[in-house]
Structure 1
Amino acid sequence: MTAPIARRRRRGLTHLIVAGALLTVGALTGVPAAHAAAADDIRINEVVTTGDVNDSIELYNKGTTTIDVSGWILKDDDNSSKYKIASGTSLAPGAYRAFDVHDKFGLGSGDKARLYLANGTTLVDSFSWSEHSDPSWSRCPDGTGAFGKAALTLGAPNACGTGGGSTTPVAWPGSGTVGTADASNVFGEDLSGLYQEGNVLWGAQNSGKLWRLVRDGSGGWTPDTTGGWSSGKSLRLPGGSGSPDSEGVTLTGSGSANGVYVASERDGDASGTSRLSVLKYDVAASGSTLTSGREWNLTSDLPSTGSNLGLEGITWIPDTYLTGAGFKDATTGTAYDPARYGTHGGGVFFVGVEGTGMIYGYVLADSGAFTRVASLSSGMSGVMELQWEPQAARLWAVCDDTCDGRHRTLTVDASGTFSTAAVYDRPSGMPDYNNEGFALAGADECVSGSKPVYWSDDANDGGHALRKGTITC
């Protein structure tokens, strides 16, 4: 049932009180009419108040002209709290831009988000709430509607009740029993993304390291002792300088012979600055260090986020599935056409953002160019891992203990976009570990309707970073 709307007027502005939240809309005062009309098209469109994970305010341009918001100021309910929008920032018509304000101020359970012109005194828009977002306070429809609780969609259209399967968590679709899959204290902390390639398990570690693991004969994995892999190989940015904060790892349909792709959120040598990149490595190279031969730096194309809240997961989905499923290219608004992008590895790379729970799809051209073809919410406050499972034609999005170890599967729906198909609790026998990696065995390992799956525990709980379970095929 739609919440009743109470209206009251004060100083020429209209205030709406909806479901306990106060929303200020209407024309600006003390600003020339022409400027006020344009500026008034910038709306606070989404607010996320999940504290350590994210404190963000999204702006949306509901008008028909591009508006320069350089120097505009965001505040909470404290006038001394100020986040100044960087110079050179503008919003095109229909554009979304999220600002992570947690370094300047926190958004509490009873608080407000306010947007001011650069003079710091002219209020453009305001939204107040009396409880934390769960996970998001979002306008529906975008830019004009009332705020309500919705899935987190920073930098993209709000989730206004469209598409998807049930979001009620159900039991893990496999055995509840989970065991260790590594020897004691092999990796230590910070083992993150995983990807299984037959008899090899690739692992990305945050310290700028890539592991090549082989089977240990007892159902687990151990470092490859050949080719200089016994302690993992150190990763470097192109040119040999800089150490990527390697979080996710994936391959294309051509396998590791065509390179291993690593998602990184920053340069470990400049850890306070976001650098949201996908890096390609030739893993056949000799020596204990691998230098990236290609970087796709996506930072400028993505909403800003904390330097340690960036790209966490990455996976590759083949063009053949996307075209067959009727996947819609968000760039063109029409059916995805791989031929439009030239040589690009035969698929789309999907990356997941820890701090927002958003998933973005990119065509990464061999030339180094990139095009974003999808922006979607995982429905969770954070994404730690993404995995494409070709056998079941579904995209897995995995969260850590931030979300109680939940897993979601997404498939392309009738509208041509990925939407939630199912939500799974973690296996009943696995504590709420800080799992940042997840990998599924291939169809060739199905036995009696089940196959292995693996998790990597960033905290190395109990001296183990790898665990093994099962899932139905």
Structure 2
Amino acid sequence: MTARTRGWGRGPRLALIAPLLAAWVFQAAPAQAAPADDIRVNEVVTTGSVPDSVELYNKGTASVDVSGWILKDDDDDGSRYKVPAGTTLAPGGFRAFDVHGSFGLGSADKARLYLPDGTTLVDGFSWTGHSAPSWSRCPDGSGTFGTAELTLGGPNACGGPGGGTPGAVAWPGGGQVATADGSNVFGEDLSGLRQEGGVLWAAQNSGRLWRLVKDGSGWKPDTANGWSKGKTLRFPSGNGSPDSEGVTLTGAGSAGGVYVASERNGDASGTSRLSVLRYDTAGTAGTLTAAKEWNLTSGLPSVGANLGFEGITWVPDAALTGAGFKDASTGAAYDPARYGAHTGGVFFLGVEGTATVYGYVLADSGASTRIATVGSGMGGVMEVQWEPGAERLWVVCDDTCGGQHRTFRVNASGVFAVTAVLDRPSGMSDLNNEGFSVSGAEECVGGAKPVYWSDDGNTGGHALRRGTLSC
């Protein structure tokens, strides 16, 4: 997803008097049966460091397409915010919407949710004082509203300001984070990352792939074989501009091809094209044409053109079978032999619009089979990474969720389940991080190893940052 504009030009607000004033829930008559009844206004922000925002939460057990639903304030005849096409809330999913461009939320106001007809009320909340900093429903989706810490896109902090994300723990490594690139090397839109020893592969939304090499404790573009400015990516036809969001490798390493996840063709930016593309990166040519494309659009929930694939990672078959992983397409234990010639593993792809990770076997023939669907429980998925030594799957959100990370392992039922909810490192600002990479165990020094993030917004002229993770 491309970088966000952060300014919103609001004037001074009234003093924060929320703690002294009572808030009350606007009781909406139950107008719709499930799944509409499962969608709730869950958090409202009317003042502070972010624009006026309303968060929705799916408390049900099925995904709900909320495309075209309407958000209003207390003005029945005034402006309204229309939820973008392709917006789906997974079970337990959160989604925050910046409404300030459509209407302002005042110190005594309402946030109301309607079906696309604009008249069928689904849920709402009213208050008599500005948020301080957030009006949050506790517990999520079912409780009453009260003042709490701002947690747009994630679980509400029901202990009040400073209470932290429920269930989240501090980053399991050092709090310090440093820049890991030169000034303005990449510009905006740097996204997925994948480390391969002394090389860091990076995908950029503009249809560009970078091969980076070590530069002290950071990275710089490889100057050999035409990589100094990155290489332009094309679809198998030799045309188009893949909106490259994620990058990964199989067990064969880059010699077996570099795999890129793309959410659309930049030359037709209004249409989803959720594809995995394989590139041969040998040679010196400045343009790489995909050797193969697996177009997975038709087998996935419909999402907006800029809300598709954001991350990709590859998990070896041996790791999955050893953990007792269950194939959702058969309901039985995963059997790699069932799928014939493939890469020797499963590709897990994160979709921003559904906040869900999908597992696919991509056959050498070009066929594809979805064998897993993993809800993230976050407001979006911007990166996924498999950490071999720890046998865990990392699922990462950006500033939509306050930079939250979650880890997943295969449980006793054979499905991926959350093992940890992690806050971002204390020394890192809430950045628009769309890429994340964990170094291998061979880089462990003194009980810690490097990890890297890519900031889509190129904040302060830097797109790469370096932290540490306990080994």
TM-score (normalizing by structure 1): 0.72
Name the amino acid aligned to 2:385: Q
Distance 1:61 1:432, change over 3 A: closer
Kindly indicate whether the alpha-carbon contact (under 8 Å) linking 1:411 and 1:419 is maintained by their aligned counterparts in 2.
yes
Which residue does the alignment assign to 2:168?
Answer: 169
From 377, 380, 387, the counterpart of 1:379 = 377
Residue 167 of structure 1, CA deviation: 5.8
Describe the SS at the equivalent of 2:259: strand
Alignment RMSD: 4.2
Match of 1:200, as an amino acid?
A: V
Can you list the C-alpha shifts for 1:363-407, whole angstroms capped at 9, x where unaligned? 111111111111121111011111100111111111111111111
CA distance in 1, matches of 2:209, 2:378: 27
Kept after mapping to 2: 8 A contact 1:46/1:136: no
Q: Deviations over 1:114-154 (max 9, x none)?
A: 489xxx99x9xx74343899899889xxxxxxxxxxx99xx
Aligned to 1:183: 182
| 1:110 positional shift | 3.6
Matches within 5 A, 1:77-116: 110-114=111-115
- Work out whether residues 277 and 293 of structure 2, in 8 Å CA contact, stay in contact via their aligned partners in 1: yes
Kindly tell me the number of residue pairs found equivalent between the two proteins: 396
Between the aligned partners of 1:189 and 1:388, the Cα distance in structure 2 is 25
Shift of residue 24, structure 1, vs aligned partner: 4.1
Structure 1 residues 173, 81: closer, same or farther in 2, change over 3 A? closer
Between 45-54 and 313-322, report the one with greater CA deviation.
45-54
Map 1:71-470; keep pairs closer than 5 Å.
110-114=111-115, 127-130=122-125, 168-216=167-215, 218-470=216-468
In structure 2, the residue corresponding to 1:257 is in which secondary structure? helix
Please give the alpha-carbon distance, in whole angstroms, between the structure 2 residues aligned to 1:256 and 1:350: 18
Q: Partners in 1 of 2:328 and 2:111 — Cα distance?
A: 36
Query: Conserved in 2, the CA contact under 8 Å of 1:280 and 1:295?
Result: yes
SS at match of 2:237: helix
> Residues 115, 204 of structure 1: CA spacing in aligned structure 2 closer, same or farther, 3 A cutoff?
closer
Distance 1:229 1:345 in 2: 26
Unaligned ranges ≥5, structure 1: 1-17, 27-40, 63-71, 87-95, 140-150, 153-165
CA distance in 2, matches of 1:400, 1:211: 21
Kept in 2, the 8 Å contact 1:57–1:113? The answer is: no
Q: Is the 8 A contact 2:40 2:123 kept in 1?
A: no
**Residues in 1 aligned to 2:243 and 2:41: alpha-carbon distance in whole angstroms:** 25
Distance across 2 between alignment mates of 1:371 and 1:115: 34
**Equivalent residues of 1:47, 1:136 under 8 A apart:** no
Query: Residue 176 of structure 2: SS of its match in structure 1?
Result: coil
Deviation at 1:355, TM superposition (A): 2.4
Residues 352 and 359 in structure 1, CA contact (< 8 A), matched pair in contact too: yes
% of aligned pairs identical?
61
Query: Helix, strand or coil for the counterpart of 1:240?
Result: coil
Q: Supply the distance in 2 between the matched residues of 1:134 and 1:197 (Cα, whole angstroms).
A: 44
1:75 is displaced (CA, Å) by: 7.0
Cα pair 1:114 1:127 within 8 Å, conserved: yes
On the 8 A contact 2:437/2:452 being kept in 1, the answer is yes
Instruction: State the SS of the aligned residue for 2:380.
Output: coil
Q: 1:201 is aligned with what amino acid?
A: L
Structure 2 counterpart of 1:23, from 17, 30, 35: 30
Structure 1 residue identity aligned to 2:221: P
In 2 relative to 1, CA 81–461 (structure 1 residues): closer, same or farther, beyond 3 Å? closer
Q: Does the aligned pair in 2 maintain the 1:353–1:384 contact within 8 Å?
A: yes
- In structure 2, do the counterparts of structure 1 residues 293 and 133 end up closer, same or farther at CA, with 3 Å as the change threshold? farther
Which ranges of 4 or more aligned residues in structure 1 deviate by more than 2 Å?
18-26, 41-62, 72-83, 105-116, 126-139
Cα 1:419–1:312 change in 2 (3 A) is same
AA aligned opposite 2:440: G
- Distance in 2 separating the partners of 1:57 and 1:169: 20
* Distance change >3 Å, CA 291–CA 133, structure 1 → 2: farther
Taking a change above 3 Å as real, the CA distance of residues 189 and 450 of structure 1, as seen in their structure-2 partners, is: same
Rounded Cα–Cα distance in structure 2 between residues aligned with 1:279 and 1:291: 9
Change in Cα spacing, 1:53 to 1:222, as seen in structure 2 (3 Å) is farther
Give distance in 1, aligned partners of 2:360 and 2:367. Answer: 10
Any idea what SS the aligned residue of 1:462 has? Answer: helix
Give the Cα separation in 2 of the matches to 1:310 and 1:55.
19
Q: Deviations over 1:210-251 (max 9, x none)?
A: 0001112x1111111111111100000111111001010000
User: Structure 1 pair 115/230, CA: closer, same or farther in 2 (3 Å)?
Assistant: closer
Q: How far apart, CA to CA, are the structure 2 residues paired with 1:342 and 1:275?
A: 26
Q: 1:295 to 1:106 in 2, by over 3 A?
A: farther
Where structure 2 has 5 or more consecutive residues not aligned to the other structure, the ranges are 1-24, 44-51, 86-90, 127-134, 143-152, 155-164
Give 1:458 shift.
1.1
Q: How far did 1:411 drift?
A: 0.9
2:247–2:311 contact (8 Å) kept in structure 1: yes
CA contact (8 A) 1:234 1:289 kept: yes
CA contact (8 A) 1:46 1:137 kept: no
Deviations 1:193-217 (A, max 9, x none): 100000100000111000001112x
Is the CA contact (8 Å cut-off) linking 1:385 and 1:398 kept in structure 2? yes
Q: Distance in 2 between matches of 1:343 and 1:467?
A: 38
Q: Judging changes above 3 Å, is the alpha-carbon distance between structure 1 residues 254 and 24 closer, same or farther for their aligned structure 2 residues?
A: same
The answer to whether the Cα contact below 8 Å between 2:41 and 2:54 also exists between their aligned partners in 1 is: no
Secondary structure at the aligned position of 1:239 is classed as coil
CA distance in 2, matches of 1:191, 1:323: 34
Match of 1:3 in 2: none
Verify the 8 A CA contact 1:43 1:59 in the aligned structure 2. Answer: no
**CA 1:47–1:285 in structure 2 vs 1: closer, same or farther (change >3 Å)?**
farther
1:62-77 matches, within 5 Å, as: none
